[in-house]
């Protein structure tokens, strides 16, 4: 049985954990305007990607991703979690062995280290997603990792024995 002093020490420790962190200084860069996004293209990923940079976010990153009609992303996996919010368009994602259809307004949740690839299902309209991932916090701890195998499908990944 705990003594009165031990219980008091535990209560003090719990109270100290509830002390809020100091408020960060006021910032001017709380809004990132769409026309300020810098788009880049990767040699192994046909989707266009724009990181939302210049914010004070410390634990997560934001990206806007666009897919041309009939285009895809690369097949990749990473340590961080990611949520893709479908802003426009429709298609499907291969996440592990599953094929998951999506449309505007849907949320695609990608767990850590799951191979995944996104496909724009339209041959005439682009698709656009907002990606929210907790990669910054993992990077700050030296734990972030990304791997891409280019344009392999899930079936091709399995054939090559890379699906583990």
Instruction: Report yes or no on 7 lying in a domain.
Output: no
Quick check: is 1 in a domain?
no
Tell me, yes or no, whether 99 lies in a domain.
yes
Residue 21 lies in a domain: no
Tally of domains in the chain = 1
Classify residue 68: in a domain, yes or no.
Answer: yes
Q: What is the C-alpha separation between 132 and 84, in angstroms, rounded? A: 6
Which residues, 6 or more positions from 56, have their beta carbon under 8 angstroms from its beta carbon? 24, 27, 29, 30
Give tens-digit pLDDT for 95-113.
999 999 999 999 999 999 9
Residue 58 and residue 26 in contact, taking contact as beta carbons nearer than 8 Å:
no
% pLDDT > 70, the chain: 94
Helices (H) and strands (E) in the chain, counts: 3, 10
Q: What is the pLDDT at residue 21?
A: 66
Stated length of the chain: 164
Which pLDDT score, from 0 to 100, does residue 83 have?
98
Q: Which helix (H) or strand (E) holds 131?
A: strand 127-133
What confidence score (pLDDT) does residue 80 get?
95
Task: For residue 56, give its domain range.
Answer: 28-159
147 in a structural domain: yes
**Model pTM?**
0.80
Q: Is 159 helix (H, G, I), strand (E, B) or coil?
A: helix
Residue 12 lies in a domain: no
The answer as to whether 86 is a domain residue is yes
CATH number reported for the structural domain that contains residue 109 in this entry: 2.60.120.10
How does pLDDT run across 35-79, given as a tens digit for each residue? 989 898 877 788 999 899 878 788 999 999 999 999 999 999 999
Q: What is the pLDDT of residues 23-39, one digit of tens each?
A: 666 767 678 889 989 89
Q: Is the pLDDT of residue 84 over 90?
A: yes
């Amino acid at each position: 049985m705990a003594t009165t002093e031990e219980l008091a020490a535990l209560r003090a420790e719990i109270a100290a954990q509830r002390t809020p962190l100091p408020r960060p200084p006021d910032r001017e860069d709380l809004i990132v305007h769409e026309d300020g996004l810098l788009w880049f293209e990767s040699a192994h990923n046909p989707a266009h990607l724009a990181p939302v940079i210049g914010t004070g976010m410390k634990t997560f990153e934001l990206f806007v991703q666009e897919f041309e009609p009939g285009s895809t992303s690369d097949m990749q996996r990473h340590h961080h979690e990611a949520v893709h919010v479908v802003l426009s368009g429709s298609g499907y994602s291969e996440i592990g062995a599953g094929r998951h259809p999506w449309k505007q307004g849907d949320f695609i949740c990608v767990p850590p280290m799951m191979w995944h690839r996104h496909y724009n299902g339209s041959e005439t309209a682009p698709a656009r997603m907002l990606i929210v991932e907790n990669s910054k916090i993992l990077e700050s701890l030296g734990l972030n990792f990304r791997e891409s195998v280019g344009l392999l499908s899930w079936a091709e990944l399995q054939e090559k024995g890379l699906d583990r």
